[in-house]
Amino acid sequence: MVKKKSPLVALVLFVIGLIPVVFLSSWVTSLSADRLQQSANDEALEELLLAKSTLEASLFRDVFLSDSLATVFSIDPEIAYKNFHAIARRMLEKSENVRNIGVAPDDIIAKNFPAEGNEKAIGLDFRTVPSQYETVLAARLSKDVYLAGPLELVQGGTAIIARLPIFDDYPRSENYWGSISVVIDYEKLMKASGLSNMSNAKIALRGVNGLGQQGEVFEGDVSSFNNADYQGKIVVPNGEWWIAANFDTTLTDRQKLALTASYWGIIALYAILYGGVYLLWRYYRAERKLANQDPLTGLFNRRFVFSYLEKLLSKQRDSAQFCILAIDLNRFKEINDLLGHEVGDDMLRLVAESLEESTRASDIVARLGGDEFLVILNRVDNNNVAEQKLNQIKQYVESKALQTETGSIAPSLSIGFSLSSETNNGIPSLLKIADERMYKNKQDKTS
C-alpha cells in the first residue's frame, strides 16, 4: 500500500506546488505586460515632452530675434526702414522657421522680406481686417510682443505671427510709429519640433492667440481633450497653448509572443530554478563584490588577486603563460604631505582608471594597498613582450595629469615584471622578482 501511495503523494504535492506557480506565472506575465505598456507610454511621453520643449525653444528663439529687430526700429525708425531688407535678410539667415517679415508704418504693410511671394500683402491696412487688427492693437496696448495665430495668411498658408509694436520715442514708448509682423511658418515649426509626425501618439493643440485652454483648437480634434493620456501647457511668448495627447502603444506581436513564452517558461522552471538559483546568485554576487573590491579605486583588492594567482598557478601546466607587473606610484608621500590626502586619493583614482584603460579586458588590475598596484597580463610569455607591454602602460599612465588648485600633476610610476615561467616557487617568488625589478626601476629613475 505504501508503494502504491507514493506516486499519488508525489502527484498531489506536485499539483499543490503547481497551483501557486500557475497563479504566480499569471501575475508575473500580467505585471510584465503592464510594465511593457507603461514603458511604451513612458517612451511616447518622453518623445512628446522633447518635441514640446523643442517647439518652445524654437518659438522663443524666433521671437527673440524679432524683438531685436523691433528694438532697432524703435531706436531709429527712419534708418531702420530705409535698410529694412538688409536687416531682415540678416535675421532670416539666423532663423529656421521665419517665413517673412513685414513692416507696417501706421499699421499699413509697406514692405515685406522676402518680397517674392508676398506681394498680395503690400498695402494691406490692418484696420480693414478686424481679426488681424485685434492682435496688432493688443501688441500696441501692451507695448510688447503679441503672438497671433495660428491663422491663415492673405498670401496663403498657415502661420504664427509675432506682432511687435514700434514707438519712435524710445525709451518712453508713447508715440506709436507702426508695427512689425514676423511670420513664422507653422507647418515647418511643427515638423521641426517633431509634433507633427509622432508615430505613437495623436495630438491636439488649442490656444489660438496664446489663450491656452480658453483658446480655439487649431490642431487635431477637440474630443482629444476629453480623455487624453496627457495634457500640458506649452509656454509661448506672453501666452500659452495647451496640448493633449492620446498614446497608441499597443503591444507588438513579438512582445505578445514573448509574454506567452514567459508564462509557460515560469511554470516549467520557476519553482526549481528561479527562487533558489536567483537568490543564491544574488547573495554570491553581493558577498563577492564586498570581499574582492578596493573601496577607493573600485579595482580588485589584494585578497582577490592573490586568490586569482593561486588558481592560475594551479592550472599553469594546462594554460597559457602570464606576466605580473608590480607598480609603485612615485612621490605619493610627497603628494599627500604637500597637497593633502584628498589630492592623494584623486591621484590613486587617476592611476587606477588609467591602468584599466591601458590594459585588455582579459587582464587583471588590482590595488594591493597604499600606492602599490598589481597587474596580471594574460598570455604574455617572454621578456620582450612583457617589457613592451610595461612600457606601453607606463607611457599611457604618465601621459595623464591630475588638475589641482595649484596646477597639474602627472603620475610617475616605477614598474617591475616577472613571468610565470621564471620560477616554480609560487606567488611569493613571483612577487619578489617583480618587486626587485620595480625597485631597480625606481633607483634608476632617482639616479
Confidence tier at 266 by pLDDT (50, 70, 90): confident
pLDDT tens string 188-229: 999 999 998 888 889 999 999 999 999 999 999 999 899 899
In a 13 Å sphere around the CA of 345, the CA atoms on its Cβ side amount to 8
Using alpha carbons, select from 28, 19, 164 the residue that is nearest to residue 91.
164
pLDDT score at 6: 53
Answer yes or no: is pLDDT of 371 > 50: yes
Mean pLDDT of the chain: 86
Q: In this structure, what C-alpha cell is assigned to residue 233?
A: 501647457
pLDDT in the model for residue 279: 47
Query: For residue 250, how far is the Cα from the chain centroid?
Result: 26
CB-based contact 187:156 (threshold 8 Å): no
Per-residue pLDDT reduced to its tens digit, 80-135: 999 999 999 998 888 889 998 999 999 999 999 998 877 888 899 999 989 889 99
Specify the pLDDT at position 249.
Answer: 72
Would you state the CATH architecture of domain 293-446? 2-Layer Sandwich (3.30)
Q: Is the pLDDT of residue 278 over 60?
A: no
Percent of the chain whose predicted confidence (pLDDT) is above 90: 53
Rounded to an integer, the average pLDDT of 33-37 is 79
Contact present, 176 and 167 (Cβ < 8 Å) = yes
Given pLDDT bands bounded at 50, 70 and 90, which one contains residue 1?
A: very low
So what's the pLDDT on residue 421?
A: 87
Is the pLDDT at 277 greater than 50? The verdict is: no
Mean pLDDT, residues 49-61: 94
Does the structural domain 34-251 have CATH classification 3.30.450.350? Answer: yes
What are the sequence ranges of the domains in the chain?
34-251, 293-446
The answer on pLDDT for 5 being more than 70 is no
Name the band, by pLDDT with cuts 50, 70 and 90, for residue 415.
Answer: very high
| Reported confidence tier of residue 297, pLDDT bands at 50, 70, 90 | very high
Does residue 52 register a pLDDT over 90?
yes
Distance CA 308, CA 50 (A): 49
Residue 274's pLDDT band, with cuts at 50, 70 and 90, is very low
Task: Read off the pLDDT band of 321 (50, 70, 90).
Answer: confident
Please, which pLDDT band fits residue 177 given cuts at 50, 70 and 90?
very high
pTM: 0.52
Q: What spatial distance separates the first Cα and last Cα of the chain, rounded to whole Å?
A: 91
- In the predicted model, is pLDDT for residue 422 greater than 90? no
> Across the strands, what pairs with 219?
205
